[in-house]
Structure 1
Amino acid sequence: MSRDQPTVSVIIPNYNYEKTLRACLESVYAQTLSPLDVVVVDDASTDNSRDIAREFPCVLVASPHNGGVSAARNLGVAASRGEILFFLDSDIALAPDAIENAVTLLTGDPETGCVHGILDAEPLFDDGPVETYHVLHAHFWRRRSVGVVGTAFFALAAIERRVFELTGPFDENLRDSEDVEYSDRLAATHRIRLTETVVGRHDDVDRLLPLLAEQYRRSQLLIPVAAVERRRGGGLRANRTSGVLAAGLVPATLPLALFTPWLLLVPLVCAVGFAVADPGLSRFVARRKGPAFLLWFTAVHFTVHLALVLGAVHGGVRWLVDPRFGPSVRRRRRERSAAAVAP
């Protein structure tokens, strides 16, 4: 790769994001470093996404069926030409210098194979307090983790094509947690850097029930992906382990009150433990939005944690009984083992 002016391909997977796709593409074409090409992979959208993409001089790859974000990103790579691949979700609008800053970091450190950025503390479109909750949390935990990390999130990430080819494609069996599985392979050979100089504004979920459903769905793959990971150190954590445990213990200990009402103190103590598990996050929210919003934030955060715990338990059970569930590497290992013992 030329170290002076590397070419960049922006790859945007999209599924029914007509609300944000135009803002996303406008931000890409307003970059201080112009990309060589922009590839929008429409994953069988049923809205007007494809018409919006055609308003811009991008390459539109129209998938005939919905294969998920991993498959869409792989299609985008195949249709692109740049030496650096910049992956961008279609519900994010980039700051004007995001691509240039990512390229500078990649070319300045030969050992860094991937650079990914943080989400702004303000949403792309402000749709209410639920979205404000999620955007603040997403900004905070990424912001405090900047530096060399073990996990990359490809909603907003740049990787050299040669590194991508060495690591291999995204696992198309995964529609969630694909970033974590891919990072496990990537971190074995290259450094991953999270930076606050690559920023995008995200349009997040704005209603509570869809937010809980999303978190429940995504957390189902936490245990299957963790079970096949080879590298444990340096992985990013959005939530404190103590907070997750405390939240899970609240409903688990509520039945103790059947023996005596005094035992209600146990889930109450767990709830207080959850509330104080991440003081940095609480201070950040209070500074940004005030103490009243912090109470709302903490209540929503608690319900999100319950969804995460329930989803992780469900996913763990699915992983035990369904060999098709989870990363493809597990299935390949089983197939190799079966072949080895076959007569």
Structure 2
Amino acid sequence: MSSISISIVIPVYNGGQDFKRCLASIQQSVRPPDELIVVSDGDTDGSWHVAETFGANVQRLPTPGGPARARNLGSQAADGDILFFMDADVTIHPQTLGLIADAFKHRPDLTALIGSYDDEPGASNFLSQYKNLFHHYTHQTSSEIASTFWGACGAIRRPVFLSLGGFDERYRKPCIEDIELGYRLKKAGYSIRLCKDIYVKHLKRWEFKSLLRAEIFYRALPWTELLLRDRNFNADLNLSHTNRLSVVLTFLLIGSLIASPIFPWLIVFTSGFALGLVLINLDVYQFFYNKRGLIFTLRVIPWHWFYFLYGGATFAYATVKHYLTKLRPLNSQAT
């Protein structure tokens, strides 16, 4: 069987030091890429020049248009059998590319695969460690039969990617363009696999504002709109049944807590809801305990519950907005 060629495609906008680490990790790969394409998405910090010093084929866009457009441009310039998409704030492990090549070589039926964040995030602050470790946990405990794609560590056969039109360029921010592509792949009958032994390291530093902005406006809102549009509610990754039940329990907990000064007996229910949240997420907290110890885990729990709160609230808001929007044309016709 002939060898499989891999083209790495990286969009970058003002990548800074993380981008240099990303490129350096590719140089240290045991199995080097056959092609490295970097698309400068209107950057102003000279990231395009840094990419050239690492030997990349650099495509430059005059103004930022988002990673979807940048990845599509890079893919059109690629020659490899496999397109491997990375983010500019991600580093690969020395074995990553070799494992990707082996996966496609030994599984001719495989169309696309996604990997996993590792358990050693690059940024040391609590929020970055918590969020990126939580992603690692989600990847490692999800089904290997995936229904979404992932632009930070995702590989796909180039002819299939091009035949589907690539990423949806209407997403002009780092958003859910990869998830949307995954849904189209599955709808067309192609297979996507979550390969839990294929690792990348996330270097991103999360702060309170940046985390909420990304999770609410760039993930939860557009993802809910996509779910409602396609009626695709597979219990995959962040949409697991445990997460859905946790959202319900979180709202019941908040509601009973607010009402308990008026109805003191509700404190019993508040305690029950809190206990339920701990018990159904015990595997998550055991994971954090094993990785970072007791104090870290105790800090994780309120953040984890807050995640269910804002995620559930965002889903409810987007759902109401979706159906109200659908009703407006009907009301207009009725009048």
| TM-score, length of structure 1 as denominator length | 0.85
**Residues 168-187 of structure 1 correspond to what in structure 2 (within 5 A)?**
168-174=165-171, 175=173, 176-187=175-186
Distance 1:60 1:322 in 2: 42
Which deviates more from structure 2 when the two are superposed, residues 303-312 or residues 127-136?
303-312
Corresponding residue of 2:66: 68
Distance 2:106 2:235 in 1: 22
Q: Is the 8 A contact 1:113 1:192 kept in 2?
A: yes
2:157 counterpart letter in structure 1: E
1:296 counterpart letter in structure 2: R
User: Alignment partner of 1:220: what SS?
Assistant: helix
1:220 counterpart letter in structure 2: L
Corresponding residue of 2:228: 227
**Residues 198-237 of structure 1 correspond to what in structure 2 (within 5 A)?**
198-217=198-217, 218-229=219-230, 232-233=233-234, 235-237=236-238
2:45 counterpart letter in structure 1: D
Q: Is the 8 A contact 2:123 2:205 kept in 1?
A: no
Q: Which runs of 5+ in 2 are unaligned?
A: 330-335
Corresponding residue of 1:329: none
Q: Relative to total residues, which structure has the larger helix share, 1 or 2?
A: 2
Corresponding residue of 2:276: 273
Task: Determine whether 1:247 maps to 2:247.
Answer: no
TM-superposition CA deviations, 1:19-61 (whole Å, max 9, x none): 3111111111222222222111122234342332232110222
2:180 counterpart letter in structure 1: E
Shift of 1:143: 0.8
Task: Determine whether 1:161 maps to 2:164.
Answer: no
TM-superposition CA deviations, 1:64-85 (whole Å, max 9, x none): 2222221121111112121110
Q: Is the 8 A contact 2:143 2:236 kept in 1?
A: no
Q: Is the 8 A contact 2:228 2:319 kept in 1?
A: no
Q: Is the 8 A contact 1:43 1:66 kept in 2?
A: yes
Distance 1:37 1:232 in 2: 37
Distance 1:153 1:195 in 2: 12
| TM-score, length of structure 2 as denominator length | 0.87
Percent identical residues: 26
2:136 counterpart letter in structure 1: H
User: Alignment partner of 1:276: what SS?
Assistant: helix
TM-superposition CA deviations, 1:285-315 (whole Å, max 9, x none): 1111112211101112122222222332343
Corresponding residue of 1:43: 41
Shift of 1:219: 0.6
Aligned residues: CA RMSD: 2.3
User: Alignment partner of 1:195: what SS?
Assistant: strand
Shift of 1:243: 1.4
1:181 counterpart letter in structure 2: E
**Residues 1-343 of structure 1 correspond to what in structure 2 (within 5 A)?**
3-123=1-121, 125-145=122-142, 147-174=144-171, 175=173, 176-188=175-187, 189-217=189-217, 218-229=219-230, 232-233=233-234, 235-237=236-238, 240-257=243-260, 259-320=262-323
1:298 counterpart letter in structure 2: I
Q: Is the 8 A contact 1:224 1:315 kept in 2?
A: yes
Which deviates more from structure 2 when the two are superposed, residues 306-315 or residues 17-26?
306-315
Distance 1:6 1:234 in 2: 33
User: Alignment partner of 1:237: what SS?
Assistant: helix
Distance 1:211 1:142 in 2: 19
Distance 1:203 1:308 in 2: 24
User: Alignment partner of 1:157: what SS?
Assistant: strand
Q: Is the 8 A contact 2:151 2:178 kept in 1?
A: yes
CA gap 1:206/1:191 in 2 versus in 1, 3 angstroms: same
CA gap 1:276/1:16 in 2 versus in 1, 3 angstroms: farther
2:104 counterpart letter in structure 1: L
Distance 1:65 1:288 in 2: 42
Distance 2:14 2:239 in 1: 26
Q: Is the 8 A contact 1:41 1:75 kept in 2?
A: yes
